[in-house]
Amino acid sequence: MAEMKSDLASELHGKVGDKLYRTLATGKIAVTPPSKAPTFIDEKDKDDRDTRMKGYGGSGHFAAVVNDAIKIGFPREKRGEQPLGKFMYYNAKTLCTSQKNEKGELVRVYDFKKMIVAAGNLLRANVTVAFDKETGVFTFTQEADSRKGTRANPTDKVYALIVDGVNEDAEFMTLRDRSENGVTSFTVPEWWDKENLFVYVFAGTRTKRKASPSACLYPAG
């Protein structure tokens, strides 16, 4: 691995040509050659590796679906941090696993109840959610919270993320300020799978520099 300083860019991330670039916390840019494919003596070790990588890949794949939420839910705390990196840190080992189907093919299996789309030390907001399957309407009920301090502020924004796990679609919405009471409704699209919907709620500062942990409120349990 080589390190360098660039006069052309303050930060670099990603692959350019056959080299991988990433910006370290010190501000230096690390340059690494492409990784070599591992070799396995035991075929089972290869199968185990492929199974793990399929699961990790599934987590990275789903980050794009919830990108609008994680950009706010995982604010940058130090130089070089990216929302995707934080999302993978919290979800790579728990969100997605893989298993072989009846054809022997590896398929992704998601546990959306465990998905985390926000993290931080802010306090969660007072929000409940109900779903009417017949009408396809989610109802969010928020109770005012006027606490002030380093972990809560009346001007904090409250957010909701609704995910269709089958069709890999999502809706990210702002509910209201932490200090406000109110009811917000959302009607899911007709083509969404009503049996595989998940709702997450979290709070963030007005400046988008801090967030609370996310909570999966639906389905309950």
**What does 65-76 look like in DSSP terms, one character per residue?**
TTHHHHHHHS--
* Length of the chain (residues): 221
Q: What angle do CA 185, 163, 112 make, to 5 degrees?
A: 130
pLDDT value of position 41: 58
pLDDT value of position 8: 47
Q: What angle do CA 108, 64, 200 make, to 5 degrees?
A: 85
CA 138 to centroid of chain Cα atoms: 21
Q: What are phi and psi of 73, to 5 degrees?
A: -70, -20
The string over 103-120, giving b where at least 16 C-beta atoms fall within 10 Å of a residue's C-beta and e elsewhere, is eeeeebebebeebbbbbb
pLDDT value of position 125: 92
Show the low-confidence residues of the chain (pLDDT under 50): 7-9, 40, 44-51, 53
- What residues contact residue 149 under an 8 Å CB cut-off, 6+ apart? none
